[in-house]
Chains A and B, each alone.
Chain A
Amino acid sequence: MSMEEKQNSQTSLDFNQNIFKPTSREEIVEIVKTCYRKNIPLEINGLKSKNKIGRNFQSEKTLDLSDYKGIIDYKPEELYIKVKAGTPLKEIIGELDKNNQQLAFEPNDFGYLFSGQSNSGSIGGVVSCNFAGSRRFKVGSVRDHILGFQGINGKGETIKSGGTVVKNVTGYDLSKLVSGSFGTLTILTELSIKVLPKPETSKTLIIKNPHLKKALDFLGKALSSSTDPSGGVFYPDYFGKDFVLNDLTHDGGLTAIRIEGPTNSVDQRANRLSKELGLLDQELSILDSEQSNIFWSRTKNLEVFKSLKSNLLRIVLPMSETLQVIQKLKNFEIKYFIDWGGGLIWASFDQLNTKILSEIKDTVKKHQGYITLIKVEEDLKASADIFTIDPIKYKISEKIKRSFDPKRIFNPGKMYTGI
């Protein structure tokens, strides 16, 4: 009997309960092994901040990882933190704060959207969904910051990939594959994540401007300039009032561009950028660090959709296509804002049904993008595809799913039929 098997046989699992709340890896292994043996589908949850995203699926038992938490190892000078997957993001950010470091991918906080208040979720959930915030175009997505992981596959075997060093090309990069897999491939148990120093200063140029075309022009120029911005959004007129701050009294449409770094450099670049964009004093406000942070935090939290009951879509596309796609989407009753310097649209639809959805999907696909349904009414959710996929990639995804989870017991059907 191996050491691992010995340990397993020592835990006594009461399998009659419907919700498991393990505190050790050994317990998780035993739960999965039992489910594997008995063909029992498992729903995997962290802090449930994003568990409404994805297709509805049948599960007999729930694995709640919220007690499987804690920081295992944090080495600020090595720029990594190793944590258990159920650790709240808030706790990690609090720890990094002490050393003036951050998770540069600033993941969305979906709590406002789904429950009206902050719930930034667990790190396992953040990685499983791979939704990165406004710095996306500069620092990459969540997956670009995952150095390694340990997880349990569908047979109950503990597997790992990567490590704690940034440069590592030993074997397939499974950290990428599990990021954004919505818990359908493996139960994440440990994650090693790259951390980065917080910028000394953040400043935000707010350009008063109600026109999307002009906004995309500003954003395109800013992202192609050597002033190195780290955020670029456009909010149309109807969202302007959500951003009234001390230094921002204008309440109409706005384009915001963030510049971060050492203080004198930020000043220099902000000045340069406003010149490069040909901005007049009366159309420009500049937010200092504190207000800039409030602004971007509201963006990250999708606060403009705080009271939205349903129908929020996330549309990723090449920025050259954004204008045309929005113009076509305006055939419907929508409210939207643009993030990622033009490469991401968050759009709410007053009315959404299968027919409209299929039109939207066709439009976005034609423009080389894809859609994820973030929040939709239950009856639509039951019939619509939440994620986009083509037949070839579906076939490959099925094979990959089976290679991790041969009996399809992890969140079965959460992403696609059978996956």
Chain B
Amino acid sequence: MSSLQMPKVDNAIMSKKDKIASDLREIINSKNVLSNPDELRPFETDGLTAYRQMPLLVVMPETVEEVSQILKYCNENKVKVVPRGAGTGLSGGSMPLEDCVLMAMGKFNKIIEIDYENRCVVTQPCVTNLAITHAVQDKGFYYAPDPSSQIACSIGGNVAENSGGVHSLKYGATTNNLLGIQVVLMDGTVTKFGGKAMDAEGYDFLGLMTGSEGLLGVITEVTVKILKSPEVVKAALVGFPSIEDAGNCVAEIIAEGCIPAGMEIMDKALTKATNDYSKAGYPIDAEAMMIVEFDGTEHEVEAYIQKTKEIAEKNNSSSLKISKTNEERLKFWAGRKAAFPACGVLAPDYMCMDGSIPRGKLAEVLNEISRLSKKYNLPVANAFHAGDGNLHPLIMFDANDKESLRKCEEFGADILKYCVKVGGALTGEHGVGIEKRELMCEAFNDKDIQQQLTIKVALDPNSLLNPGKVYPILRKCAEEGRVHVHGGKTKFPDIPRF
């Protein structure tokens, strides 16, 4: 594992482990406080498995009141807290700290209310994303944001990361589908932001909390919008002789005023890998392959599919298939959705990057990725939420080989820097976490980051809630770059740390 600097371990806290555990056992059911290393082990990492750290303790509260009391206790005793939902995050947002109490929200797993009149669902945070849709689909409703991990990821985690998915072009990310949350702040204050009404009064704390990666509060209840399921959904599978043609086709579809429900592009490497893996019937000779999906009424979908066909042909499409049945449409998606396991077959490990770029820069960015792939001598396959410019290069490497991991991380960082350079963003939907923390200075200057840190301090003055995530440990952006620890010595030990 590559060494990433985390906030200084508080030895006083480490030495009081037993006392803290027994205090917490006074607050909540004693069996919900875990302190034995064997019990802690399952919590040492999240979806970013290259980084692991055992927490000091794990607490599994069952009520909002317990969450509030634990946070209050930790705040008063200066104990760091790391909140965790399902642990599927890809940027290390819930990776524990050595001296932290990891707050596992797994027991908050019930849907509280389904309200069809107001078209919303009120739920506890550790209900999975997909479970919300399952709960309302009998009545023809669904919850729109659909991150790939929707079968396992929790709705509270979705709020913390502002998760997207293949349908966010048309339906937005979590932030656009959220009506309200209940939050516990680090000092134990319980409050609600938003509710069942469409807007809330005053400052938009709901918007601030969404995507704040567990740094500002612990989410204990979530109210999401549900939508009526579309009547018809159809997809087209289109092959292109070049990435440029595919990119132009995407731009033209958007320019024509069609907003697809989803629009995905995969490069040749990923098309082949996923086709081998899932036998999806992809055009494996094509340099780029696009899946474009429309939903709505029959006439609407037909009109858009027809338009897409014309635009694709104009842009030299080499093959075009339109789904005739729902099964066929799902088969189109099966390959794309198996992108991760398909890459797992090709290499011992892969790292999934998550940059956002202007749609029009796709060809340029993919060419640069291909150049970097040669430079670092690591294979890469690319998936792209083309509609909203969210690029997911999958870099293949061997985690057992330290040099390979180092190269992979540098390769990934170079890609993200390039995304920012062409007018994009470091992360489209996976969050910054620890993974992209040191790259924040690529996107923001010192003043921008200071403004954000001031907000953090306003709500968590002792910086105890999920510290060491999102923002560079070194305070000044002048000290940019990934921080490595050499021989246990850090650079600039006197600079204040957040």
Contact = CB atoms under 8 A, between A and B. Distances in A.
Contact of A159 (B189, B258, B451, B471): B451
Interface of B: 115-119, 140, 161-162, 164, 168-169, 172-173, 175-176, 185, 189, 191, 193, 195-208, 210-212, 216, 228-231, 251-252, 254-259, 296-300, 303-304, 356-360, 385, 388-390, 423-432, 436, 440, 443-444, 447-452, 454-455, 457-459, 470-471
Given A144-B176, A169-B161, A265 B303 contact: yes
Contacts of A415: 202
A136 B255 contact: no
A274 interface: no
A234 interface: no
11 contacts: A78-B360, A100-B257, A166-B388, A168-B425, A228-B296, A265-B299, A272-B297, A388-B202, A396-B185, A403-B454, A415-B202
Interface hub of B195, B197, B212 (most chain A Cβ within 10 A): B197
Contacts of A185: 203
A397 interface: yes
Contact of A368 (B191, B197, B452): B197
B257 A200 contact: yes
Contact of B358 (A164, A227, A344, A392): A164
Interface hub of B115, B254, B360 (most chain A Cβ within 10 A): B254
A209 B429 CA distance: 46
Interface hub of A173, A340, A416 (most chain B Cβ within 10 A): A173
Interface of A: 75-79, 100, 130, 132, 136-137, 140-141, 143-144, 153, 157-161, 163-177, 179-181, 185, 196-198, 200, 220, 223-228, 261-262, 264-265, 267-269, 272, 316-320, 340, 343-344, 368-370, 372, 387-389, 392-393, 396-397, 399-400, 402-404, 415-416
A136 B199 CA distance: 9
A153 B451 contact: yes
B205 A137 contact: no
A370 B342 CA distance: 51
Contact of A268 (B115, B299, B357, B454): B299
Interface hub of A77, A161, A181 (most chain B Cβ within 10 A): A77
Contacts of A372: 201
Contacts, number: 253
Nearest to B204: A176
Given A264-B299, A265-B299, A163 B425 contact: yes
A144 B427 CA distance: 18
A171 to B, nearest CB: 5
A160 B448 contact: yes
A318 B118 contact: yes
B200 A370 contact: yes
Nearest to B304: A262
Contacts of B230: 226, 228
Given A200-B257, A318-B195, A403-B454, A265 B296 contact: yes
Given A170-B432, A176-B207, A369 B197 contact: yes
B162 A320 contact: no
A411 B18 CA distance: 51
A388 B201 CA distance: 6
Given A180-B202, A269-B300, 16 more contacts: A77-B360, A78-B360, A158-B447, A160-B444, A167-B164, A171-B432, A171-B448, A171-B471, A173-B210, A173-B212, A174-B208, A224-B116, A226-B229, A262-B304, A387-B201, A403-B457
Nearest to A144: B176
Nearest to A157: B447
Contacts of B140: 226
A54 to B, nearest CB: 12
Contacts of A180: 199, 202-204
Given A265-B297, A344-B198, A173 B451 contact: no
Nearest to A317: B197
B356 A226 contact: no
